[in-house]
Structure 1
Amino acid sequence: MSDSLIEACDQPTPIHVVDPDGLGALFETLSESEAAWARASRFDAGAGMVALLPTALGTLGKVLFGVGGNGAARNPLMAGSLPGLLPQGDYDFVGALPDPLHAAIGWALGNYRFSRYRAASGPVPRLLLPKGVAPHRARTIARAVALVRDLVNTPANDLGPAELAEAIRAAALRHGAAVEEVVGDRLLAAGFPMVHAVGRAASPARAPRLVDLTWGEADHPKVTLVGKGVVFDTGGLDIKPSSGMLLMKKDMGGAANALGLAEMIMAMNLPVRLRLIVPAVENAISGDAFRPGDILRSRAGLSVEIGNTDAEGRLVLADALALAAEETPDLLIDLATLTGAARVALGPEVPPFFTRDDALAAALSGHAERVGDPLWRLPLWRPYAAMLDSKMADINNAGSGGMAGSITAALFLARFVPEAIPWIHADIYAWNPSSRPARPEGGEAQAIRALFSLIEARYGRPA
C-alpha cells in the first residue's frame, strides 16, 4: 500500500470542509464563477457531497467537501470517497473536520488497491496530514487494515497454511515478537487433535499447523487474540456447492484480522503482553478427511460429535481457545468468518459479537460507533445450547433445527472458555460485496479498529 499521507508539500489543492450551516459563509469567500459552479453542481454540503471547482485555466482549483448537519449520521471514514474522485496531486483539508484522525485514515483506505496480480493504476492523490493527527498512528492503522485486505484477497493457491504462518512470522520479525509453530502430526502429540482432524486431508505441502506469537513484557496485562485460519473451505465431505466455494479463500479472514489487530498493538507499543494464536488449516477432501458422525477429542477434554464437516472453523477455534484459556488472560478475543447465519441476521456490514460481560459489551459498542467500525451484540442465549446436544458425545459441532446458527456457534465456543475469563467472539464477514467510501470491494478488516480502541482505552498507552 503506497503511503498517501504526507507531512509536507508545496501548494496543495485545498479541500474546503463545510456543513450546511456554513455554506453561505463559504460561498462569500468564493469567486462569482466558483460559487455559480458549486450551485450548478447542486452542492448543499450534505454528508459526503463533493464539488470540484475549476480555475479559469480549466485545472482543479478547489474542492468542496460536505460533512452534513449536526443531526447527520456521520461516517468517520467518509473522506475515503475523495481519492476515487480526485486527480493525482497533493491536497489539504481547510476548515474544521469532525474527526481529523479518521478522515486521514479514510483517505489512506480509499487509496487501497490490491496489486499482487496486476499493476496498480499509477500514483494516487496524497493528503497533507491534518493538524493534530499523529502520523505514526494514522499510518499504523491504515497499514494494518491494508495487511488484512491483502491477505484476504490473496487466493488459496498462493496462501496456504504455510504462507499464512509466514505472514505471522514476518510481523513478529518487524516487532521483535517470538513465534512457535506446531505442524502436521506433531499437533496430536502437542494436544491439538481437532486442528489436526480438520486439516489432515490436505496435501503434505499444506499441512495443518498452529502458530503461537507472543510479544510484550511478561508482567503487563495479558491480551490474547485467536483467529480462524481456514485458508480454503470445501465444506469437507459435507461438500459445499460451487457457488458456496467461490469466496472461501476468505475463510482465513479471522486470522488475517487477528494479525491486523496484533500489528496495531505492537506498532503502537501498547503496554500489554500480547499473544496471537492461529490454527491454520485447509478443509480439504481426501481419503483421510474427517467424516460426519466421527467423534473427536478436543484439547479441553470434551468429546465432539461431528454433525457437519462444514462446521469446521469452530473445531479448530475450540482447541486454540482451550490453549489460550490455560494461562487465564485478562482479555480473550477470537475473530472468525464463522457462520452464514450472521450474514442473514445482520448483513455483510455489521458483524455480530458475543460476550458474557455486559460492561465489556457496552464499552466495545461505544468504541465501534466512535471509530466507524460497526458491531452489534447478539445474545449467548443459553437455552439454545440444547440444539448442540449429542447422544454419543459431550457436544455436537452443528446445531439441530437450522435456526440461530450464529448463536449456537458462539455457544459451542463458549464451552471452551471458562466463565471467569473476559471473552469476546466476533463473527465477521471479512469482505465487502460492493464498494463504499474507504471500503473497496474485496477483503476487509472488520472489528479490529473498534477492538484496538477498546484495548487502548482499557490498558492505556505507553508512557
Structure 2
Amino acid sequence: MTPRFANSSEAPIPVHVVDKHALQDWIDRQPARVQTWVHGSGFKPAIGKTLLIPGPEGMPEAVLIGYGSEAERKRGRFHLAAAVPSLPDGAYEIASGLPAEKAEEEALGWLLAAYAFDRYAGNGGAKALLLPPEGVDAAKLEIIAAGECLTRDLINTPACDMGPEALEAAAAQLAAEHGARFAVVLGEDLLDRNFPMIHAVGRASDEDPRLIELTWGESGPKLTLVGKGVCFDTGGLNLKPGASMGLMKKDMGGAATVLGLAHMIMALGLPIRLQVLIPAVENAVSGNSFRPQDILMSRKGLTVEINNTDAEGRLVLADALAYGAEGEPDLMLSMATLTGAARVAVGPDLAPYFTDDDAIAAALDAAARKVADPVWRMPFWDPYEKDIEPGIADLDNAPSGGFAGSITAALFLRRFAGDKARYTHFDIYGWQPKPAPGRPKGGVGMGARALLEALPGVLGL
C-alpha cells in the first residue's frame, strides 16, 4: 500500500486540535450553535478523542481532535493518528491548534494510520486523508511512509511466504523500481566466494542460503547497510521453546528495515553511493545443521566457536560486514533483531545502537528527537572483549554467564566491520507488541527515520 495525503481538490473538513487546557477558550470563540453542540456532547479533549460538528444543514463542517495535555503528550507520539480511525472517510485540513514544530510528526503519523496488513484478510486502514499542513514536505513524508510500510509488510509476512527466496524477490523488486544494480551469491557458491558462515547457518534449510546485494548511485560518499535476513529462526539444534519461536518470522526485521531505509534514500535521490547487503537464511534443523562446539571459519579469517546455534544472526552478519568493509565505505550500518538482552535493557519502543563515534551519536540523538523515532546509545565496552574470546578459537558466538548480552554481540560484530569505516550497529526489536497511534500491532520499522534524518550531517551531504 502507498499512503498518501489529500489534495486541495478534495474539499477538506477543517480540523481543530484542542489541548486539554484550551478547550473552553476555543469554545468561547465559536458561534452560539457550536458552543451549544460542544457543551451538549460532553466532549473531553483527551488524546485521540474526536467530535464532529454539524453545519446548519447537518453535514460535518468541522471536527475537534483532542490533544491531551503536554504531560500526556510526552508519553507517546503521533497523537493525531490516534483519532484517524474514528473519522469518516474523506479529506481533512488542520485549521488550528497544532504547534508548527509538531506538524511534520503528526502529518507522518496520520499517513501511517492508513497502514493495514491485508495480504491474507481484507483489513483496511483508515480512509481519512489529511491535506498536508503548511510548511511540511508532503512528497518526502509520503516516501518515508512508503518505506515504513514496506518494512512492515515484509516483517508481517509469515515465513511460509517470506523465506530467503521471497526476501530476495522483494529486494530485487526494490532494485528494479529504482534502477539499482542487483546480485545474489547463492547456495554452494557462498563457499566458493568465501562466505562460509552464511552457508553454515543456512545450509539445513530447504531454501538455499544467499547473500543479497543491491547497489545504487554513482557519486558521493559510500554508505553500506547490512541487514540480518534470518527469515525464520528455530534456534537450530539449540531449539527454541515454542513460546520463543512464536515471533521468529520477524527475525528478518533488520533486512526489512534496511530495505525500507534504502527505498527512502533512493526515492529521495540522496547524493550517495548506496550498498545494501542482506545475508538471507533460515536457521532450520536437519542432518547437516551446524552444531554446538563446531568451529567455523569466517570470511575475515577469524575462527568462531559455536556455543549456541541460536546465536546465528551475528554469524551471518559477520561475513556480510567483512565483505562490506572490503569496499571501504564512509559509513557502515548494521541492523538486526539480534538479542533479547537489548529488549530487557530498553524494551520494545527504543532502538538501541552502538557506535564509537560521538559525532554519529550526537547526530542520531538529535535526529531521533526531531522525527519521533526514538533511539538509545549503548556502549561498545572494551573490557568485555575478553568475554568473546574462548581460547579454543578466535571468537565465541555465545559467551556464557548471560551478562551484557547485547554488548558482547555488538563487540563480536565490530570485529568484522574493519578499521576504516565508521561503524554503527542497531539491535532492534522490529515489532509493535500492542497497538499504538500510527503503529498497529505487528511489524514496525525502528531507527530508519532517525538514520535518514542524520545522514546529511554524518556524511556531509
Q: Does TM, normalized by the shorter one, top 0.5? A: yes
- 2:106 corresponding residue in structure 1: 103
CA distance in 1, matches of 2:10, 2:391: 73
How far, CA to CA, are the matches of 1:235 and 1:122 in structure 2? 35
1:258 partner amino acid: V
Structure 1 residue 404: deviation in Å? 1.1
Unaligned 5+ residue runs, structure 1? none
| Larger displacement relative to structure 2 (255-264 or 51-60) | 51-60
CA contact (8 A) 2:85 2:126 kept: no
- Output aligned runs, 1:160-239, within 5 Å: 160-203=163-206, 206-217=207-218, 219-239=219-239
How many angstroms apart in 2 are the aligned matches of 1:39 and 1:212? 60
Q: State the match for 1:406 in structure 2.
A: 406
Alignment partner of 2:8: what SS? coil
Amino acid across the alignment from 1:8? S
The amino acid of 2:127's aligned partner reads V
Contact 1:68/1:74 (8 A) holds in 2 = no
CA contact (8 A) 2:113 2:126 kept: no
Q: CA deviation at 1:19?
A: 3.4
Q: Distance in 1 between matches of 2:156 and 2:37?
A: 40
State the partner residue of 1:32.
Answer: 32
The 1:94/1:76 distance shift into structure 2, 3 A limit, reads farther
Is the 2:151–2:260 contact (alpha carbons within 8 Å) kept by the matching residues of 1? Answer: yes
Partners of 1:18 and 1:45 within 8 A in 2: yes
Worse-matched range after superposition: 323-332 or 25-34: 25-34
Once the two structures are superposed, residues 301-328 of structure 1 have per-residue CA deviations (whole angstroms, 9 ceiling, x without a partner) of: 1000001000000000000110111122
1:144 aligns with 2:151: no
Q: Deviations over 1:323-363 (max 9, x none)?
A: 11112211111100001111111111112110011121121
Q: Does 1:117 align with 2:120?
A: yes
CA 1:28/1:244 → structure 2, altered by over 3 Å: closer, same or farther? same
Number of aligned residues: 458
Q: d(CA) in 2 for partners of 1:227 and 1:65?
A: 39
Secondary structure of 2:327's counterpart equals coil
Quick one: which amino acid aligns to residue 122 of structure 2?
A: A
- Counterpart of 1:84? 85
Q: Could you tell me which runs of 5 or more consecutive residues in structure 2 were left unpaired when the two chains were aligned.
A: none
| Alignment partner of 1:430 is 2:430 | yes
Q: Provide the C-alpha distance between the structure 2 equivalents of 1:161 and 1:253, rounded to a whole number of angstroms.
A: 13
Per the alignment, residue 344 of structure 1 pairs with: 344
> Does residue 284 in structure 1 map to residue 284 in structure 2?
yes
Task: Give the Cα separation in 2 of the matches to 1:398 and 1:234.
Answer: 16
Cα RMSD, aligned residues only: 2.0
Residues 75 and 372 in structure 1, CA contact (< 8 A), matched pair in contact too: no
Q: Distance in 1 between matches of 2:115 and 2:227?
A: 23
Work out the CA distance in 2 between the residues paired with 1:431 and 1:80.
18
SS of the residue corresponding to residue 211 of structure 1 reads strand
1:93 paired with 2:94, answer yes
- Displacement of 1:418 in angstroms is 2.5
Give the equivalent residue in structure 2 for 1:376. 376
Distance 1:460 1:107, change over 3 A: farther
State the distance in 2 between where 1:60 and 1:270 align: 42
SS at match of 1:9: helix
What is the CA distance between 1:17 and its match in structure 2? 2.3
Distance 1:41 1:400, change over 3 A: farther
3-state SS of paired residue (1:5)? coil
Give the distance between the partners of 1:417 and 1:459, measured in 2 at CA.
18
**Distance (whole Å) between structure 1 residues aligned to residue 299 and residue 33 of structure 2:** 72
2: CA distance between counterparts of 1:86 and 1:76? 19
Cα pair distance change 1:310/1:110, threshold 3 Å: same
Does residue 353 (structure 1) correspond to residue 353 (structure 2)? The answer is yes
Letter matched to residue 424 of structure 2: I
Question: Which range moves more in the overlay, 22-31 or 401-410?
Answer: 22-31
- Match for residue 157 of structure 1? 160
- Could you tell me how far apart the structure 2 residues matched to 1:426 and 1:403 are? 19
Deviation at 1:293, TM superposition (A): 0.3
In the alignment, the residues of structure 1 paired with residue 251 and residue 340 of structure 2 have an alpha-carbon distance, to the nearest angstrom, of 11
Partner Cα separation in structure 2 for residue 3 and residue 12 of structure 1: 17
Asked if structure 1 preserves the Cα contact closer than 8 Å seen for 2:67 and 2:80, the reply is no
**More deviation, 341-350/120-129:** 120-129
Letter paired with 1:109: L
Q: Which runs of 4+ in 1 moved over 4 A?
A: 39-49, 54-59, 68-72
What's the % identity of the aligned pairs?
50
* Change beyond 3 A, Cα 1:200–1:265: same
Does structure 2 retain, via aligned residues, the 8 Å contact 1:148–1:444?
A: yes
Q: Which of 118-127 and 300-309 deviates more?
A: 118-127
Quote the residue 1:332 is aligned against.
332
Aligned to 1:418: 418
Deviation string 1:395-445 (CA, Å, 9 cap, x unpaired) is 100021011111111111111123442111111010001100011100001
Q: Does structure 2 retain, via aligned residues, the 8 Å contact 1:300–1:319? A: yes
Q: Using the alignment, how far apart are the partners of 1:37 and 1:367 within structure 2? A: 42
2:16 aligned with 1:13, yes or no? no
CA–CA distance in 2 between the matches of 1:355 and 1:66? 40
The amino acid of 1:240's aligned partner reads K
Alignment check: 8 A CA contact 2:253 2:430 kept: yes
Take 2:92 and 2:276, find their aligned partners in 1: how far apart are those partners?
A: 38
Query: In the alignment, which residue of structure 1 is the partner of 2:385?
Result: 385
